[in-house]
Amino acid sequence: MDYKNVAESAALYDTVVVCKNMYGKESSIGGWFTTFAGFSANEKHTFFKSRTEGSSHLAYCNMQSADNVDFVFKVFSFGVRFFAPVNPDCLNYQILSPSQYAENMPVWWMFDLPKFCGIDFRVQQDVIIENTCLATPSGYGPRGGGGAQPATDTRVGNANQIPWKAVTGTIGEPSIDNRFPLPNPIEIPRNTPIEANVYVSEYGRYVLRQLAGPESTVMLNENQVSTPAYADYLSMPNRYGIQVSLYGYREVQQRGQYFAAGAIQSGRE
């Protein structure tokens, strides 16, 4: 009996992260950065070439092999997403409101940097896509939200004047059909190397290498929320990144079966 494959919908994705703190094994992940300046030193950031699910985290990469596709894969769409924290970077570990926020960082990374980046996608040596990151939408990600004004009680110190501002969004409508289309699917054989490259333009790197950060989100601790006063604050590092994804169908052996050539099977015809 010949082997039998079935098609399953599947995604392949990989992520570059920029964050001042790396946790555990993250510190050894290739192509991740702790500063914007470090990120800007590379003109090209490569995906599907060095990270795996094991070396990073399933949230960021689901490659089993660092540079090969483990299964026959028919790719129907391609997307790139620039993500940024919803809260601006705070430059201090206390909230010395006002004036200690870098409000432009998330906005610029999420909405402006894609204007200054190109992307290509290659299967072996064939260039399948060359495009601007603006017009290669991921089809998923955050969308709009609500609005609010910070607490305006000015009786106690600065704590109630914290300049909260949340920014949400992405490039393109986050709807699953809004991705770079490949109507004639790219058929990638098993064990084939693929790669995607994000090219940051000279202007993009010129801006990034001057930036502080990424820094942290700083907020009141529980006691301060109850009784505003200067004291300790909570500080969590903000995380920026770029995620490249392929959507399609992978061909795998029928679940619960084993039809590989030469397999010993009971009850076979």
Partner 1 sequence: MGYMNVKEKWFYYDTVMVSPWVGTLSHPIPGWYSSFSNLATSDAITFFNSRNKAIGLAYNNQDARDQLPFALVAETVSIGFFGPSAASLYGTPCPCVRGVKGRVDFLSAWWEDEVPQHTSAVFKVNQDERLKTNCAMLPASYGPTGFAQGQGDTSTLHGNSASVNAGGMGTPHLKYRWEFSADGIGIPRRATMSVEIRFTEWVKGWMATLWGPGSIEFATSPSPAYVAVPSVFMVQCMITGRREVQQRGEYHA
User: Applying CB under 8 A, which part among 5-13, 52-60, 103-111, 236-244 lies near partner 1?
Assistant: 103-111
Q: Is 206 in the site for partner 1 (CB under 8 A)?
A: yes
Residue 106, SS3? helix
Of 137 and 248, the one with the shorter C-beta distance to partner 1 is 137
How near is the Cβ of 189 to partner 1 at its closest, in Å?
Answer: 10
Rank residues 57 and 239 by Cβ distance to partner 1 and give the closer one: 239
Contact 72, 5 (CB under 8 A): yes
Interaction between residue 170 and partner 1 (CB under 8 A):
yes
Residues 6+ apart with CB under 8 A from 143: 168, 169, 170, 173, 174
Compute the distance between CA of residue 46 and CA of residue 198 in angstroms, rounded to an integer.
Answer: 7
37 is an interface residue for partner 1 by CB under 8 A: yes
Cβ distance to partner 1 smaller for residue 155 or 268: 155
Question: CB of 192: closest distance to partner 1 in angstroms?
Answer: 11
Which listed residue (27, 64, 191, 210) binds partner 1 by CB under 8 A?
A: 210
Minimum CB distance to partner 1, residue 58 (Å): 26
Query: 246: helix, coil or strand?
Result: strand
Decide if residue 107 touches partner 1 (CB under 8 A): yes
Asked if residue 263 binds partner 1 (CB under 8 A), the reply is: no
Report how far apart, in Å, the C-alpha atoms of 214 and of each of 18, 23, 109, 238 are: 7, 15, 11, 6
User: Which residues from 110-149 bind partner 1, rule CB under 8 A?
Assistant: 110-112, 114-120, 123, 126, 128, 130-135, 137, 142-149
- Using the rule CB under 8 A, is 39 a contact of partner 1? no
Q: In the window 174-203, what residues touch partner 1 (CB under 8 A)?
A: 174-175, 177-184, 199-203
Please give the structure tokens belonging to residue 19. 């964050």
* Measured distance CA(76)–CA(247) in Å, rounded: 6
CB of 213 to partner 1, least distance (A): 7
Tell me how far apart the alpha carbons of residues 183 and 76 are, in angstroms, rounded to a whole number.
6
**Contact residue for partner 1 among 42, 161, 217, 253 (CB under 8 A):** 161
CA distances for 240 relative to 67, 72, 105, 191, angstroms: 24, 32, 10, 31
Residue nearer to partner 1 on the CB measure, 61 or 110: 110
At CB < 8 A and 24+ separation, what contacts does 209-213 make? Answer: 209/36, 209/37, 209/40, 209/41, 210/37, 211/36, 211/37, 211/105, 212/36, 212/89, 212/91, 212/102, 213/20, 213/35, 213/36, 213/89, 213/102, 213/105, 213/238
Name which of 27 and 104 has its Cβ closer to partner 1. Answer: 104
Closest CA to 76 of 11, 171, 6, 170: 11
Which of positions 68-97 make contact with partner 1 (CB under 8 A)? 88-89, 91-92, 97
